[in-house]
Amino acid sequence: MDIPTDVSAPTTSRPTIPVPTTPVPTAPAGTTAVPDLAAPRFWQLPAAARAAAFADLRRRPAPVYFGDRATGRGFHALVRYADVVEASRTPAVFRSAPGVTTPEPARWVRLLFGDSMVNLDDPRHAQLRRVVSRAFTPRLLGRVEEDVRRIAAALVDEVERGRPGDFVGPVAAQLPFQVICTLMGIPEEPRRRILDLVDRNSADVGVARPLRRRFRIPGRGLAALARMQGIVAAIGRERRRRPAEDLISALVTADVAGRRLTGRELGAFFSLLLVAGVETTRNALAHGLHLLTVHPEQRALLLADLDGRLDGAVDEILRHATPIVQFRRTVAVDHELGGPGGPLLRAGEKVALYYGSANRDESVFPDPEAFDITRDPNPHLGYGGGGPHYCLGAHLARQEMTALFRELFTRLPEARSVGEPVLVPSSFDHRVRSLGFAF
Ligand code: HEM
């Protein structure tokens, strides 16, 4: 899901430094102009340079506006922990419609494919979320836990047999994909076809790809999406006739405000689960293996007490790597951030919630650059800042990461990354294309 912040707009028309209007944030003495977060080249900078830019932004008295505030083409960058939490938990002011990604989905795309719940506000969001949460019952999740362990064990069997040199495609991406298909009740046969379609849909993502291709991809991606949703809708029709013990059956037989999910809504939800659940978990697993490789003392701590420290390690990976860089909200009414007298955000303006920056906020996380699996407390915002859209799959993601690392480090204690991860520069997610792997 590569929908970077406004990078689809011609970058030449953008200023390279922010053009704030009121209130004017001034850089404290000694700091320089902030690099433009809306420029693709910012996301190609080394991680340390980006971290320094965010640290500088966090020190400023008000969020910086990137773009042209007079015309509304741009956004306020929310970079502090407290600001991201406030925006996440005040949905009456910070709306998810018309979209949390930039550029927002075109109207015809939304009409054709159905609105994904992540882009909806109440009451429609609450209705959809209620039916979906009901389907994530403890009974279903309890069964899934068994499945997750079984799938993780089978993957490590494969690793031992095939000795893949890459960790991402053959291992990290497989686990969440197989888990979601199992959870939904997708039969084995269409899985291969769906995986191909997902690959096609998300091929060449990231701001690094040439502009020419960026314009070509949507058509190809949407055709793949349409085919994928068609497959799922067909399974939905079948389950409506003969329900089984799976999520698709629960979704097509449950009531959402007096009616069932339509085939289109089912397709939209499945795409959301794939996009939200596969790529995020895949990237978290890859970053995790690498972090545990380049911090041998943390790895030794973990292996000395896998049961006792795995949960803490997973949280610290989520904090340190922050797989989703940012989501957007649209301000519904004039709002003073942080309370009366705070910076004024005007109705209609956009804000970007930078989760990674919030996760490095020095006022919440001492020594934030350090990777410390014993960090306690660790109230990271890797799954969002709370509120109605808080990640629906947070529990499942934890189950998956825990299961894979437990299986991997128990059976292959030498498992490690080799070299640096190949990253795909993106202002939307912290994506790893490939990661050398040995054991
Ligand atoms: C490490 C893995 C994951 C990360 C880092 C992650 C992160 C996030 C974030 C940041 C949000 C937005 C929260 C907000 O706007 O307040 C979100 C929403 C969501 N996530 Fe996840 N996620 C992960 C795994 C999963 C999995 C495994 C699933 C499903 C199987 C999933 C399903 C969803 C859904 C459906 C939403 C939208 C919820 C709503 O709008 O109500 N995620 N996730």
**Residue 420 confidence class, pLDDT cut points 50, 70, 90:** very high
Q: What is the pLDDT of residue 221?
A: 67
Give the relative orientation of helices 280-294 and 296-304 as an angle to the nearest 10 degrees: 100
**Residue 3 confidence class, pLDDT cut points 50, 70, 90:** very low
Strand partners, 75: 66
Nearest to 198 by CA among 213, 181, 185: 181
pTM of the prediction? Answer: 0.89
Residue type at 49 in one-letter notation: A
pLDDT (tens digit per residue) in 154-212? 999 999 999 999 999 999 999 999 999 998 889 888 888 888 777 665 544 433 344 33
Q: What is the pLDDT of residue 198?
A: 72
Q: What is the pLDDT of residue 255?
A: 67
pLDDT (tens digit per residue) in 85-115? 999 999 999 999 988 887 666 666 666 566 7
| Beta strand spans in 168-229 (E) | none
pLDDT (tens digit per residue) in 269-278? 888 888 788 8
Q: Are 353 and 327 in contact (CB under 8 A)?
A: yes
pLDDT at residue 41 greater than cutoff 80? yes
pLDDT at residue 23 greater than cutoff 50? no
2-20 mean pLDDT: 29
358-381 mean pLDDT: 98
- Ligand 1 binding pocket (C-beta < 6 A) is 88, 117-118, 129, 176, 180, 272-273, 276-277, 280-281, 284, 323-324, 327, 355, 382-385, 387, 389-393, 396-397
Q: Which of 269, 280, 328 to mutate for ligand 1's pocket (most ligand atoms within 8 Å of CB)?
A: 280
4-11 mean pLDDT: 28
Q: Are 36 and 16 in contact (CB under 8 A)?
A: yes
